[in-house]
Structure 1
Amino acid sequence: MRFDEIVIRTDRLDFPALAAGDGPVVVCWHGFPDHPASFGPLAERLVAAGRRVVAPFLRGHHPSTVDQLPFGDGLTLAADAAAVNAALSSEPLDVIGHDIGAGMAGRLAATRTDLVRRVVTMSVPPPAALSRIFADPAQQQRFFYLFMFQVPGVAEALLNDTLIEYLWRTWSPGLTVPDHVREMYADPAVRANALKLYRANFDRSLHDPALAHLAQVSEKPAEIPMLVLAGADDGCVTPENYAGAATALAPGSRVEVVAGGGHFLQLDRPDEVAALALDWFR
């Protein structure tokens, strides 16, 4: 897929993004360790169906924004997603979020219903269901990296190409790390920002106090129905962790387990994901 690189100017930050196609906009947010270009196969199918795909770089994950991550909490990222939607259109937009981007999309839907039309999330349960999966010791073991990233010095030493290759191979069997991902995380500043996002899960000094009031609604089920996709072969968050997800979603929402899909569903199963997303958007 050939993307154009654009800049989305918002009242929070100028967000570099990859864009392709014409028609109603679908905003796609990537996760860790990943890059907007990984939406390429999915974008190709959405563009062929008459949609415009805009895939921004997470704050702090592009050379122009590496020094623009004072806070790393989920509300900061959700506010970024809200600013992007508002800048792109005066009408609510469709959103797809993968991994960290899934949390962004879910919190955006919970906090700014006026900016969102339909939401698809991939590979992470909705925010209102996340706390439950930490009760599973096997899932805690799969999240070893999350806890390792809290240890200063150790995290910086071990977040390298070898670890990223291991995570991709473990999370989506059969996939190898794309060159664009390797190149992004070769930058020490990007790696430091990725660690900041994970440390913000536990370190409240990395939470923006100006957004604290949004926490009253951001972790509750969004009022907007969501399509939640899980990979049957996801080695990061396994399908059984979605068993109670429906209770954390608005009426009319759906949870689908994609057969043969790993964690990186946009690469593993672009045909199936595109078909599900386009049907959901209709």
Structure 2
Amino acid sequence: MTNLPIRRVTTDLLEVAYHEAGPADGRPVILLHGFPYDIHSYMEVAPLLAADGYRVIVPYLRGHGATRFLDAGTPRSGQQAALGADVIGLLDALAIPRAILAGYDWGGRAACVAAALHPERVAGLVSVNGYLVQDIAASNRPLAPELEAGFWYFFYFLTDRGRAGLDANRRGIAEVIWRRNSPKWPFGEAELDRAARAFENPDYVDVVIHSYRHRLGRAFGDPAYSAAEAELAKAPPIRVPAVTLDGTADGNFPATDGTGYAAHFTGRHRHHQVTDAGHNLPQEAPGAFADAIREVSR
């Protein structure tokens, strides 16, 4: 399996590395990966959409792959508002007025944040596991024990030991999370090795640790995103057309019928379950993910 060819563009804060496929004048769609994954989650989705005439852009998130901060003094924030702002910055840098946003995990959160705060820039949304804007004020409410067990790394990363462990064992931690997240996905060493190269980014540990500490109320956010975080704390609705997906074999997020978060989607909204797909849904079920983008485009 080969790596995807990479381009680069400069935003206000980042040099963003991204893969692009399809015609330059096609309808733009931004595909956003999660943690601990990389752009190869979309290795099969991208050509499917490109063949349909979409302009497909798959960026490495901040702290991943060849994406780099421009200034050593910029806080290495992983908070939700920063991820959403990066999407809007990418659209600006590529002179794209509006795009379909699609993602899972961190990427789904970035897409939801951008859609909630900047609906004029978002033509449609595909989000795995639904409405992913974090309710940080509620972060100390306990979940069922079997769900808490799957989030072990959230709490590990609150500690100095967890930070050191992530730094020393980036690939190993990813493998444990992958196996829990996607128990029916028969990934091999090659897939894991390829993704793990994205974790060699010099800002990876800082961004990841900040993300989990911030979402649990254990780290301050970058003041540059204070206003955005205040808006996100209100659980703003997503008004753009949206399709949400749940994999029936997601080891951490049991599949639902979507009604639990449907009220957050005030535009046209459809929800689907994807049989036997886990948390890394676009890589495990690329056809279903591409179909969701086609559906939201109608």
Deviations 1:208-245 (A, max 9, x none): 21221123433322222321111110012111495401
Equivalent in the alignment of 1:26: 29
More helix per residue? 1
Matched AA of 2:39: P
Tell me the equivalent position of 2:14.
Answer: 13
Q: Cα offset for 1:150?
A: 0.9
Cα separation, 1, equivalents of 2:258 and 2:273:
9
TM-score, L = length of structure 1: 0.89
Partner of 1:257: 273
Matches within 5 A, 1:122-137: 122-123=128-129, 125-127=131-133, 135-137=143-145
CA contact (8 A) 1:126 1:248 kept: no
CA RMSD of aligned residues (A): 2.6
TM-score for the superposition, normalised by structure 2: 0.84
C-alpha distance in 1, partners of 2:135/2:47?
Answer: 31
Shift of 1:196: 2.4
Change (3 A) 1:139 1:243: farther
Q: Offset at 1:33?
A: 0.4
Alpha-carbon distance change, 92 to 201 in structure 1, aligned in 2, over 3 angstroms: same
How many angstroms apart in 2 are the aligned matches of 1:242 and 1:140?
21
Q: Is it true that 1:182 corresponds to 2:196 in the alignment?
A: yes
Percentage of identical aligned residues: 25
Change (3 A) 1:260 1:242: same
CA gap of 1:206–1:124, structure 2 versus 1, over 3 A, is farther
SS of residue matched to 2:100: strand
Whether the aligned pair in 1 keeps the contact of 2:241 and 2:296 (CA below 8 Å) is no
Please say which of residues 208-217 and 61-70 is displaced more in the overlay: 61-70
Q: Which residue of 1 aligns with 2:215?
A: 201
Partner Cα distance (2:294, 2:67) in 1: 32
The verdict on how the C-alpha distance between 1:277 and 1:199 changes in structure 2, with shifts beyond 3 A counting, is same
CA distance in 2, matches of 1:201, 1:187: 22
Structure 2 CA distance for partners of 1:112 and 1:125, relative to 1, 3 Å: closer
1:97 aligns with: 103
- The answer to whether the Cα contact below 8 Å between 1:126 and 1:245 also exists between their aligned partners in 2 is no
**Which amino acid in the other structure matches residue 64 of structure 2?**
H
Deviates more, 1:103-112 or 1:2-11: 2-11
Structure 2 unpaired stretches of 5+: none
Q: Is the 8 A contact 2:66 2:198 kept in 1?
A: no
* Alignment partner of 1:213 is 2:227: yes
CA distance in 2, matches of 1:21, 1:82: 21
Distance in 2, Cα, partners of 1:56 & 1:134: 34
TM-aligned CA deviation for residue 69 of structure 1: 4.7
Is residue 231–residue 239 contact of structure 1 (8 Å, CA) maintained in 2? yes
Cα pair 1:10 1:84 within 8 Å, conserved? yes
Measured after TM superposition, the shift of residue 170 of structure 1 is 1.8
Letter in 1 for 2:83: L
**Is the counterpart of residue 165 in structure 1 residue 183 in structure 2?**
no
Structure 1 partner of 2:56? 53
Measured in 1, the distance between the counterparts of 2:129 and 2:32 equals: 12
Cross-structure match for 2:161: 153
